[in-house]
């Protein structure tokens, strides 16, 4: 598991935005992963996706790494942000925009506004 923790740590620190998910950003394999990837894709965020279904050590390792039991998990600038419910809430409240702005992550503000309009 140490290898998984090292790999996770390196991935999280080497990329501004990382989504640990079931499936890939182009083909999510669960509804929760699909929702978070869909938000990031729609907002035009450049992010690394890690398919936990491809590696059991990573699948368990990411839960241990964050002390968070579920997947997907979003990381921004090396910090754990949350899972599907938290990302959904942050998107709708505008907090995700603020997080991206504070960390210099490029995203499409108009797309973020459209998500909020559609769900308002």
**How far is Cα 27 from Cα 23, in angstroms, rounded to an integer?**
6
Lookup: tokens for 59: 């699948």
> What are the helix (H) ranges across 24-103?
31-42, 56-66, 84-93, 95-102
Residue that has been written with the tokens 């998500």 in this structure: 115
Find out whether 30 is annotated in a ligand binding site: yes
Reduce the DSSP state of residue 17 to 3 states and report it: strand
Which residue ranges make up the annotated binding site? 30
Which residue ranges make up the annotated binding site for [2Fe-2S] cluster? 30
């Amino acid at each position: 598991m140490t290898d998984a923790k090292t790999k996770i740590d390196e991935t999280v620190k080497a990329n501004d935005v990382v989504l640990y998910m079931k499936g890939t950003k182009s083909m999510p394999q669960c509804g929760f992963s699909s929702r978070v990837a869909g938000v990031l894709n729609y907002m035009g965020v450049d992010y690394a996706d890690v398919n936990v279904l491809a590696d059991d050590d990573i699948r368990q390792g990411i839960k241990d790494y964050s002390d968070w039991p579920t997947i997907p998990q979003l990381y921004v600038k090396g910090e754990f942000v949350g899972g599907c419910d938290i990302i959904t809430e942050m998107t709708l409240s505008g907090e995700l925009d603020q997080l991206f702005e504070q960390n210099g992550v490029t995203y499409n503000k108009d797309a973020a506004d459209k998500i909020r309009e559609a769900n308002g």
